[in-house]
Structure 1
Amino acid sequence: MTASPELGTPQTATPELFKSVFRQHAAGVAVITAQRGGRPAGFTATSLNSVAAEPPLISFGIGTGSSSWPVIAEAEYVGVHILGEHQRELAAAFARSGADRFGPATDWHPGPEGVPVLDGVLAYLVCRVVARVPAGDHRIVLARAVAGDPAGAGRPLLYHQGRFNALRD
C-alpha cells in the first residue's frame, strides 16, 4: 500500500465543506421528468444511482424547495434521462431556476405512462415511484424501472467542479 500525500488538517463538516468535497466528485448528468395535470416538470440531477438490478431500482435526490418537487411529490411515474456531452445547454436549462424547461428549445414527447421523454438522450427509463424518503431538506426517491431505451448515441455528460464536462480520451 502506498502512502498518500498529506492532505491537511481535517475541518469541521459545514455545508460549505460538504459542497467543496463533492465538487471533487465527477458525476453523470441526468434529467428527471414527470407530469401532473397536463403540466410537465423536470430538473437536472447528478444524484442518480442504480440501486438494484432485481428488481430494477434507481434512486435520486430532489430538494423540497425545488420548483419540480410538488410534481415529483405526487407523481406515480418519472422519466430518468441520461444526457450526452452534446446536451450541456439542456442540462443547464433544467438546472436553472425559472427557465422554460419544456419550451420550444426542448424536444420531447409523451412517453410510456404519460411521462415526458426528452429526445436525443443517450438512454432513458420510465420508472414507477415506490418511495420518497426524507433526507434533510431533500427527499430520496426510489423508483422501479418499467420501460426504457438504451439506444442513444454519443458519450455521457459529466458534472465536476461546478461545471458540465465531457470525458477526455
Structure 2
Amino acid sequence: MTATPDVAASRLATADLLRSAFRRHAAGVAVITARGDTGPVGFTATSLTSVSAEPPLLSFGIGTGSSSWPAVSEAEYVGVHLLGDHQEDLAATFARSGADRFAAPTAWCEGPGGVPVLDGVLAWLVCRVAGRVPAGDHRIVLAEVLLGDPTGAGSPLLYHQGRYNALRG
C-alpha cells in the first residue's frame, strides 16, 4: 500500500515554498571561479549538474544580483571545484557576501585561461562557457569541460537543511 500525499496541506508556489522544499534535497557543494576585471571572483554553488558526456558539458546557476555575476557574465572560462567534507570553511567563505574569498587561508593558483584553481579539492575542472540562459533572477551557465583533475582525496561535502554535512557510511 502506498501513502498518498496530503494535498490539503499544499501551498501555492512562492520563493519560500521552493526554498523549503529544496532544503530537504541534499546537494553536493562546489565553488565556481572566474577571472574578473579587478581580480578573481568565486561563489559557492549547489546547483551544479552534469549535462552531457559527449561533448562534456555541465551547468550551474548564478543569481544576477551576485557579486560574481558581472565577471561570470563576461567570462570565457570558469573553474568548477568539487569540495570535500574537510572544506566546510572554504564553502562558507565563498558563500559569504563581502568576504575576501581569495585571501589566506584560501590556497589557489592561476590556471589555464586565467581561471583561479583552488588547492585541495576533490576535483577541479576548467571549462569554456558555452551559453548563459535567462532563468528568472538567475542565469543557467552551460560550460564545456576542457581539462581538470578528479584525483583529490576525501569524501564529498553536502548541503542539506541549511547546513554543510558529510556522508555517513
Which TM-score tier does this pair reach, normalised by the shorter chain?
over 0.9
Q: Which amino acid aligns with 1:131?
A: G
Q: CA deviation at 1:7?
A: 4.0
Q: Which amino acid aligns with 1:33?
A: T
- How many residues are matched? 168
Task: State the match for 2:10 in structure 1.
Answer: 10
Task: State the match for 2:90 in structure 1.
Answer: 90
- What TM-score does the superposition give when structure 2 sets the normalisation length? 0.96
Residue identity over aligned pairs, in percent, reads 69
- What TM-score does the superposition give when structure 1 sets the normalisation length? 0.96
Q: CA deviation at 1:37?
A: 3.0
Within-5 A mapping of 1:109-148: 109-148=109-148
Task: State the match for 1:64 in structure 2.
Answer: 64
- Greater shift, 29-38 or 74-83, is seen at 29-38
- Asked whether the 8 Å contact 1:112–1:147 carries over to 2, the reply is no
Q: CA deviation at 1:113?
A: 1.6
Task: State the match for 2:167 in structure 1.
Answer: 167
Structure 1 unpaired stretches of 5+: none
SS class of match (1:86)? coil
What is the alpha-carbon distance in structure 1 between the residues aligned to residue 4 and residue 91 of structure 2? 36
SS class of match (2:130)? strand
- Greater shift, 37-46 or 139-148, is seen at 37-46
Q: Which amino acid aligns with 1:163?
A: R
- Asked whether the 8 Å contact 2:29–2:91 carries over to 1, the reply is yes
What is the alpha-carbon distance in structure 2 between the residues aligned to residue 55 and residue 151 of structure 1? 21
- Asked whether the 8 Å contact 2:128–2:145 carries over to 1, the reply is yes
- Asked whether the 8 Å contact 2:37–2:71 carries over to 1, the reply is no
